[in-house]
Structure 1
């Protein structure tokens, strides 16, 4: 009326202030690391049952069913024996070549299938992620558990082949238990890493088979690294010695095959196996947990 400024309207509280006032939290917000581990422990039965269901349903359309879990690596070993062992001669200088080869194929297949299953753990289960609330790491861990169960089934066949080819059970066979445990932790870490990457880059699932095939050729599955790399430069030898896939394969060969001695193992092999398990397991878990709130939102 007389030129005085109009009173300012009452300021409205922001959404953040309202949420704080009523104790509201962001839906799907990432929990703390300790909370996340506790959530995973509470969902351990879900992980186990999900893995069991996946194991049973994987070969339901195949006539031989779950026998393919064993038949597939056996057929691969046969092909590698014909091509590499006979035609290319990588069996020369390798005693007990068939147990040597079959052990390498079965152990590398454990890592290979864990990675290939892990890359689709999030991208292939978006409906489940959006429908239910659970720690997303349960999925890649469940898929790793599927591969562990398949490996345990395959181990019976592997041990039978090793014994048929002349190996006698001994106390050294017990070394297979810690070796497989460390490899399982390593595989779980890789599965968590590729699960996060695969949730954003769906084409990664198409690229990984080529990466894994190259990794297999560098891991001494079909040949002896100690023989093939004896004249290689120091840097190449070091890379081959540090290759985690080759480390776990060598530990299993050392455990099961008498002619595979400690002289063929890289230095500090058990420390390397433990180190890779811790780096991949802990690092993969932390890497996956960091993006927990992003899964299923795109």
Structure 2
């Protein structure tokens, strides 16, 4: 309908819309609209991640290849770095501070190198997870994909790096007279559980690091403290046996520390003389519990903030 204005023009009056008075939520429901970038349901999110499994694997392999691309020794640094750390710890803790107490001399080097390699797996996964979102904002903002793909791929990268280190570890153990037995196959479930645990931690710290980039500067100090408390350079049971005044809760914290549990399981699998007396009771149940707790809590915690990554 129309009407003539005072200056001779024609003003057009539109008829009322049937959508007048509807809220945004009501309009969306009426026309089947959904929020751009909205968080999918948990089951759908898992399905989307599975659909991106090839991307996750390729991204982890690309990161692994590029990690030492500027160094002349290239990928050799994947094992050279933890080996150099082990050499320093052997000199400081094994020779100067006597941390070998309670560990037979002929297995201390395999004991130490195993601890360094296995703890480095967790340490590197957490550090990579902290930066997985904040350090890849261009990718996060440019493409639509499940953001959990990034911390998972970084954890997978660290697992691949550990597998290279395990080859060196086998050479070291054989060099010290420790030869393969059926127990070596226990390394597979131990590292699989540790991978789930590491991925859960990486997801937790990926969310925290996405909002607090300074966390990446703090975490090396936290992880170094965790390493000193985890029995990388010494045996926790042997150390506790010489300390009569240690509170019971401190003993429990040290023995049920997940990093110590996964290290000791790999040591138990590889080293003949590292027997059950060095392990806490129900150690496999504890390893499974830590993996499930960290994996499930970490995944759900990260998924809860899916729509907020890369914004702000």
Aligned mate of 2:259, from 228, 235, 245: 245
1:219 to 2:230 alignment: yes
Question: Which residue is equivalent to 1:269?
Answer: 283
What RMSD, in angstroms, separates the aligned Cα atoms of the two structures? 1.1
SS across alignment from 1:85: helix
CA distance in 2, matches of 1:169, 1:18: 67
Structure-1 residue corresponding to 2:5: none
Matched, 1:85 2:99: no
What's the counterpart of residue 163 of structure 2?
Answer: 152
Q: 1:93, 1:114 → 2: CA distance?
A: 30
Please tell me whether residue 184 in structure 1 is matched to residue 195 in structure 2. yes
Which runs of structure 1 show a deviation greater than 4 angstroms over 4 or more consecutive aligned residues? none
Matches within 5 A, 1:110-121: 110-121=121-132
1:55 to 64, 73, 76: 64
Q: Deviations over 1:93-126 (max 9, x none)?
A: 3111101100000000000000000000010111
Q: Pairwise mapping of residues 118-197 of structure 1 onto structure 2 (< 5 A)?
A: 118-197=129-208
Partner of 1:36: 45
The answer to whether the Cα contact below 8 Å between 2:186 and 2:269 also exists between their aligned partners in 1 is: yes
TM-score by length of 1: 0.95
Q: Distance in 1 between matches of 2:121 and 2:218?
A: 19
User: What is the TM-score when the length of structure 2 is the normalising length?
Assistant: 0.91
Q: Partners in 2 of 1:237 and 1:187 — Cα distance?
A: 23
